[in-house]
Amino acid sequence: MGGKPMIVRVSDNIISPLGMTTAENYVAVKAGRSELKRHDGLWQLPEPFTASLMNREAVNEKAAQLQIDDRYTFFEKMIILSAAKALEQTDIDPTSDSVLFILSTTKGNVFLLDKNETGFPRERVLLGYAAKQMTDYFHNPNTPIVVSNACISGVCAQIQAMRELESGRFDYVVTVGADVQSAFIVSGFQSFKALSVDCCKPFDANRTGLNLGDAAATLIYTRKDEVNENDWVACRGAIRNDANHISGPSRTGEGSYRALKVALGDTNPDKIAFINAHGTATLYNDEMESFAIERAGLSCVPVNGLKGYYGHTMGAAGILESILSMQAIDDHNILATRGYETIGVMHPLVLSNQNQPTEKRAFIKLLSGFGGCNAALLFAKGGEA
């Protein structure tokens, strides 16, 4: 290959209500399973909501096996456990100063702001302090970087990881994304009238909003001069703003279109197996994405969305959905868009609620979020698509 070094996946992990490993999660998603359930009266919230929530006991048990005890909040247990499970598949020494940890999260330990929560020092609500719990656990000497860019954080964190490796300062970057649900987050999205009381239906004509979910996911990256055909390479990514509105997406998909264009570069769209979209199942997001994909000349590329399995996992989403997309291509599969039935966006997309075969080896992960931000990242197995 030669030329510029490539950014290659070393290992990964997903902890979600569907499993504690990447493999468990992929098998469950491929089989069409979901833990999205309706909750009435949970956290004393006056209105019901549908979410994919962790069994906290199961996480506590797994964490305890690794001495991740009750000094840590549930959020911290999730990030440490996910990072530990990704690291244990490698021979990386996390105590080395050539290893950097990047955390992707929107709300971290925000539940600690509730006056009834007294079990932890209040400073742990600071995202940098929560991240420090993780680096201290692994005795990592570097200051952790927290990317907090609303719903696109998980892709931003990977772009950040690529840059840290490209600039040569670090040899490994452990990219961990997570959020755990709470009254704070659910009530906020309810006040935005953004949640569906039923399971979400991405891109569907009858979609009524999103669901939320707990998850942590980790992707470890390194830099390589030569890659082999099974290496997953993070090729090109971009973050772009709509410059339109702080909560509503641009009607013309301005930021997503521009991010897609940079991520695609001069790659032939023919080489791309699918675009794994944000697909939140809100009216405006899905419409916007369809327009952005059309404007980027990618209407012929299949699109899927995974929120119907996990809900929106916020800081985890960009990492979790990237990992599952890699697994799918390893399995020559385009994952079904669970919850989708009839096309409900104005700009035609190739969508399916069934798994579809593919022999292609590249995909684009697309995300958008509050603050008008959008991110796209091209991945290719075995190097440049």
Partner 1 sequence: MTKHEVYITPNEVSIDGKVLIHNKNGAAMLTELYRAYVGDYPKFFKMDTLSKLGFVASELLLHSEGAERFVPREDRAVVFFNRSASLQADTAYQATIQDPENFFPSPAAFVYTLPNIVTGEIAIRNKYFGETSFIVLPENNPQIMARELQNVFLDPMTTSVLGGWLDCTDENHFEANIFLILKS
Partner 2 sequence: MDELIYTLKQQIIEALNLEDMTPEDIDENASLFGEGLGLDSIDALELIVLMEKNYGIKLKDPSQGKEIFKSVAVMADYIQKNRTK
Kindly list the residues in this chain that would bind partner 1 in the complex (CB under 8 A). Answer: 44, 46, 106-108, 110, 113-115, 125-129, 131-132, 143-150, 156, 160, 162-164, 166-167, 169, 183-184, 187-192, 238-247, 254-255, 258, 262, 369-373
- Give min distance, CB of 245 to partner 2, in A: 7
Query: 113 vs 67, 106, 108, 118, 182, CA distance in Å?
Result: 26, 15, 11, 9, 11
Least Cβ distance, residue 27 to partner 2 (angstroms): 39
Rounded to a whole number of angstroms, the minimum distance from the CB of residue 197 to partner 2 is: 12
Shortest separation between residue 209's beta carbon and partner 2, angstroms: 10
> Helix, strand, or coil here: 312?
strand
- For the bound state, the minimum distance from the C-beta of residue 89 to partner 1, rounded and expressed in Å, comes to 27
Using the Cα atoms of residue 109, residue 110, residue 111 and residue 114 in order, give the sign of their dihedral.
Answer: positive
Q: Helix, strand or coil for residue 278?
A: coil
Which one of partner 2, partner 1, none is in contact with 248 (Cβ closer than 5 to 8 A by kind)?
Answer: partner 2
Structure tokens at 259: 């991010």
- Residue 191 as a binder of partner 2 (CB under 8 A): the answer is yes
3 state DSSP class of 160: helix
DSSP state of 31: T
Q: How many Cα neighbours within 13 Å face the side chain of 256?
A: 31
Position 206 contacts partner 2 (CB under 8 A) = no
The item of partner 2, partner 1, none sharing an interface with residue 242, based on CB under 5 to 8 Å by kind, is partner 1
Q: Whose Cβ is closer to partner 1: residue 146's or residue 277's?
A: 146
381 binds, among partner 2, partner 1, none (CB under 5 to 8 A by kind): none
User: What type of residue sits at position 61?
Assistant: E
Binding mask 46-85 for partner 2 (x = CB under 8 A): ----------------------------------------
Least separation in angstroms between residue 190's CB and partner 2 is: 10
196 close to 281: Cβ distance less than 8 angstroms? yes
Which has the closest alpha carbon to 275: 299, 251, 258, 253?
299
Do the Cβ atoms of 283 and 194 come closer than 8 Å? Answer: no
CA distance 86 to 95: 15
- Judged by beta carbon distances under 5 to 8 A according to partner kind, the member of partner 1, partner 2, none in contact with residue 114 is partner 1
| Region 243-282 residues binding partner 2, contact defined as CB under 8 A | 245-248
DSSP 153-182: HHHHHHHHHHHHHHTTS-SEEEEEEEE---
Write out the residues near partner 2 by the rule CB under 8 A: 191-193, 245-248
